[in-house]
């Protein structure tokens, strides 16, 4: 198939059935957003926000985009900026994977690395405050502000329509990790119009404050937040599940070893939540988890035994004590 440019490859990601979990009443499926051009669902968001900003005259030719991102949106925006001829400034923090940082530099993005934690022990507020400081001196820069931009959830109306078409409307549960709430809100709102009977589970990280939980340090990236994003729409979510670092990372390892699928930490959390949903609620039907990114960027972190042990996570111990039946 021929394409006019790299951006045309964004979207229409595949859905795969998981075959390992046989002793459960549900059929589990995953939508692999890592199959987008530079590896995550944020490719969709980057393209849609930039093109919406162009239509609304917020971006001029050769202009500069600045964004706070833990990695994937920064990479998506850096790629879109290269295709469209913009400059890109990425405000990141020490939790970004070394591979993501190398990719951003390969795209010739300017990097601003914050090092001061916020009150929750994370970096989000520090990153956002840094963006605001830069904008104060450079008001002509464009800030997508993914946490409070309606174009973020609007992006995922198309994601929902893809899901509807993939399943011909026959889907009982949709499991969505939440961070900026773009996917959780946009996809949930649209899919409930298309399949009124569907139920939505959103998956958050333990240590995130999105749903009134106490803040805490966490190693999962791309899921959870130390603020409540304005994009959150609680009335759309039927169930909320919080997943720990260790449970998410164990599911990453399990999926790689049993299904050959390598995905990121937020994806591990989504699969763990879907499996618990199937078992604890005895769901009879189809469950789909949307997996935000692929896992090759995390080989030096969540797929590294030494990296995990440094953070007090022993995969061998977790595997031997894990209380779910997978066979």
pLDDT of 136-172, one tens digit each?
Answer: 999 999 999 998 999 999 999 999 999 999 999 999 9
Please identify, among 91, 120, 148, the residue that sits at the C-terminal boundary of a domain.
148
pLDDT value at 182 more than 70 = yes
- One domain, residues 265 and 226: yes
**Residues 30 and 166 placed together within one structural domain of the fold:** yes
Among residues of the chain, what percentage have pLDDT more than 70? 96
Domain count, the chain: 2
User: What is residue 319's predicted lDDT score, i.e. its pLDDT?
Assistant: 64
Give pTM, 2 decimals: 0.93
Q: Are residues 160 and 111 in the same domain?
A: no
Condensed to tens digits (0 to 9), the pLDDT of residues 5-49 reads 999 999 999 999 999 987 889 999 999 999 999 999 999 999 999
User: What is the domain-level CATH number for residue 172?
Assistant: 3.40.50.1100
Q: Tally Cβ neighbours within 10 Å of residue 323.
A: 4
What pLDDT shows up at residue 13? 98
Q: pLDDT (tens digit, 9 = 90+) per residue, 249-264?
A: 999 999 999 999 999 9
Contacts of 305 (CB under 8 A, 6+ apart): 315
- Work out the pLDDT band at 325, boundaries 50, 70, 90: very low
**Together in a domain, 163 and 230:** yes
- Render 12-81 in DSSP notation, one character per residue: ---EEE--S--SSSEEEEEEEGGGSTTSBTHHHHHHHHHHHHHHTT-S-TT-EEEEE-SSHHHHHHHHHH
Question: pLDDT tens digit string along 79-106?
Answer: 999 999 999 999 998 888 888 899 999 9
Tens digits of per-residue pLDDT, 214-231? Answer: 999 889 988 998 889 999
Range of the structural domain that residue 168 is part of: 6-37+156-308
**Is residue 199 assigned to a domain?**
yes
């Amino acid at each position: 198939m021929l394409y006019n440019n790299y951006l045309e490859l964004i979207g229409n990601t595949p859905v795969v059935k998981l075959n390992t979990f046989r002793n459960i009443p549900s059929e589990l499926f995953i939508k692999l957003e890592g199959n987008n051009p530079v590896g995550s669902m944020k490719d969709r968001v980057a393209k849609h926000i930039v093109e919406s900003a162009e239509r609304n005259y917020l971006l001029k030719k050769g202009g500069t985009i600045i964004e706070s991102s833990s990695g994937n949106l920064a990479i998506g925006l850096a790629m879109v900026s290269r295709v469209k001829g913009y400059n890109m400034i990425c405000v990141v923090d020490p939790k970004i994977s070394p591979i993501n940082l190398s990719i951003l530099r390969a795209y010739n993005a300017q990097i601003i690395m914050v090092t001061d934690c916020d009150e929750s022990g994370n970096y989000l507020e520090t990153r956002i405050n840094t963006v605001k400081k830069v904008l104060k001196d450079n008001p002509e820069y464009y800030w997508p502000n993914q946490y409070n931009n309606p174009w973020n959830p609007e992006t995922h109306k198309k994601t929902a329509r893809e899901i509807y078409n993939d399943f011909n409307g026959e889907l009982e549960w949709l499991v969505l990790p939440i961070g900026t709430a773009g996917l959780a809100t946009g996809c949930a709102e649209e899919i409930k119009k298309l399949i009124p009977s569907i139920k939505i589970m959103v998956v958050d990280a333990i240590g995130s404050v999105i749903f009134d939980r106490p803040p805490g340090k966490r190693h999962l990236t791309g899921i959870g937040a130390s603020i409540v994003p304005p994009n959150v729409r609680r009335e759309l979510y039927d169930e909320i599940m919080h997943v720990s670092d260790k449970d998410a990372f164990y599911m990453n390892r399990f999926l790689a070893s049993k299904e050959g699928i390598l995905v990121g930490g937020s994806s591990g959390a989504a699969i763990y939540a879907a499996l618990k949903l199937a078992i604890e609620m005895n769901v009879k039907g189809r469950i789909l988890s949307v997996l935000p990114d692929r896992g090759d960027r995390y080989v030096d972190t969540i797929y590294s035994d030494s990296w995990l042990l440094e953070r007090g996570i022993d995969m061998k111990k977790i595997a031997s004590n894990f209380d779910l039946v997978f066979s």
